Amino acid sequence: MNPLTQNQPKAIVVGGSLGGLFAANMLVRNGWNVEIFERTPEALAGRGAGIVTHPELFEALAAAGVVVDDRIGVQVNTRVTLSRDGAAVSEREMPQTLTAWGKIYDLLGRAFTGAYRTGATVTAVESHAGHAVVTLQDGSTHRAEMVIAADGFRSGIREQLLPSVSLEYAGYIAWRGLVDEAQISSATHAAIFDKFAFCLPPHEQILGYPVAGDGNSIEPGQRRYNFVWYRATREEDELPNLLTDGTGKYWANGIPPGVIRPDVLADMEGAATDFLAPQFAEIVAKTAQPLFQPIFDLTVPRMAFGRIALLGDAAFVARPHCGMGVTKAAGDAMAIARALAGHTSVSAALEAYSAERVQVGQAVVEHARHLGAYMQAQLKSEQDRAMAERYRTPEAVMRETAVSRRF
């Protein structure tokens, strides 16, 4: 037996979202006592964002003890690009399974047998020769053999360990939303619901695909349609305006969907009518609670700090175009498990993990930058925009967006 598992060492995972749950489940299955500290007051269930699956994601689910069957998501076979008038201008066969954040969270949460603490905000971490220490906002300290920081793209632990590393705004945002299948008109349903669909008007890009519905149902009629709409947004004035609610409060770290101003939503819906294919304009208009996220890049030079490791978006943040965010975090979790199994020292294992996954994270970020080059060019010179447009054919976008590949 590996010496690390003889006395059931303890690991603290900071962050109870998907990356943290992947790591926690794998560690429990490898003999660790695991405690998750999640800063939100309640469990994160209920999020509905769509997720594009990749083979590595299924490997990670199996390693986490999750049995995967056809109920994991919605299968689509075709990709299609629509023109401004809604006609199909390009189509190709590309079978893929689309799932939802809530579905994966539910599966991982049910599999986890360790302790999951909500309302536990971590304020500091320390790595010592024989242990690590986590300090919570309430002043309590917690000791473990290892700490995994899976606390997201605005990771407080990363900020402590790498204070010079910061998010880089890419020059555009992504509007997101979900519409219940039953609310979609028959014409729009026939055109796009069972497809991975795109529309590429000048300066814009939107895509959509079906995902599980309420209660993670994938039964026809009970599913949802998920969209992601990229829009160029100036950092100096447009973005702050979008991040300011009706009371004048500026939400620098992201505005909650429920307080986005009505005029912002009205402008967004008007733009959908003006620029998008009518099928997508309908999807946008029927979204009950749209939300948006500024798009960032983030890279780190290392992911291990003694007995502390960064995982997922706490380390590398890639633009959504390659659909690798959850899969990348899952791959990080598998790499940590492998490294721990191959080393007798936690710090040596985490150094090996870092050496492997820094290269992977950098490659994913660079690939996502390539896929997002057109949107980033929209706030640059006319020459830059024209250059980017040359490479944004429907065929290229459908071939490259969110496709399965190894990094």
Instruction: Going residue by residue through the chain, which has 407 residues, state the pLDDT in tens, using 9 for 90 and above.
Output: 344 445 789 999 999 999 999 999 999 999 999 999 999 987 665 555 789 999 999 999 999 999 988 889 999 999 999 999 999 999 999 999 999 888 899 999 999 999 999 999 999 999 999 999 999 999 999 999 999 999 999 999 999 999 999 999 999 999 999 999 999 999 999 999 999 999 999 999 999 999 998 888 899 999 999 999 999 999 999 999 999 999 999 999 999 999 999 999 999 999 999 999 999 999 999 999 999 999 999 999 999 999 999 999 999 999 999 999 999 999 999 999 999 999 999 999 999 999 999 999 999 999 999 999 999 999 888 887 877 787 788 999 999 999 878 88
DSSP for 293-352 reads EEEEEB--S-SEETTEEE-GGGT-B--GGG--HHHHHHHHHHHHHHHHHH-SSHHHHHHH
pLDDT at 44: 65
Q: Is 326 exposed, middle or buried (0-12, 13-18, 19+ CB in 10 A)?
A: buried
For position 31, what pLDDT does the model report? 95
Residue type, 211: V
- For position 389, what pLDDT does the model report? 81
Going by C-beta distance under 8 Å and a sequence separation of 6 or more, which residues neighbour residue 2?
31, 340, 341, 344
Q: How far apart are CA 311 and CA 158, in angstroms?
A: 10
Q: How far apart are CA 320 and CA 172, in angstroms?
A: 12
Report d(CA 173, CA 162) in Å as an integer. Answer: 26
CA 242, CA 254: separation in Å to the nearest integer? 10
Task: Choose which CATH entry (3.30.300.30, 3.30.1370.160, 3.60.130.10, 3.50.50.60) describes domain 3-68+103-166+298-369.
Answer: 3.50.50.60
Q: Map out the domains of the chain as residue ranges.
A: 3-68+103-166+298-369, 70-99+168-296+377-397
**Residue 284 one-letter amino acid:** V
Which phi and psi (to 5°) does residue 166 adopt? Answer: -140, 160
- Kindly list the strands in the beta sheet with 50-52, ordered across the sheet, starting from the edge strand earlier in the chain: 50-52, 88-100, 74-82, 196-199, 204-211, 224-232, 168-180, 291-297
Q: Is residue 337 within 8 Å of residue 148, measured between CB atoms? A: no
Give Cα separations from 13 to 125, 224, 371 (angstroms): 12, 32, 32
3-state secondary structure of 373: helix
CA 239 to chain centre: 21
CA distance 98 to 71: 11
Nearest Cα residue to 291 out of 211, 228, 210:
228
| CATH number given to 70-99+168-296+377-397 | 3.30.9.60
Match 């749209």 to its residue by tokens. 290
Q: What pLDDT digit, counting tens, does each position of 56-91 carry?
A: 999 999 999 999 888 899 999 999 999 999 999 999
**Do 255 and 229 meet the contact criterion of CB atoms below 8 Å apart?**
no
pTM (whole model) above 0.95: no
Query: Distance between CA atoms of 246 and 254, rounded to whole angstroms?
Result: 15
Give me the pLDDT at residue 215, please: 84
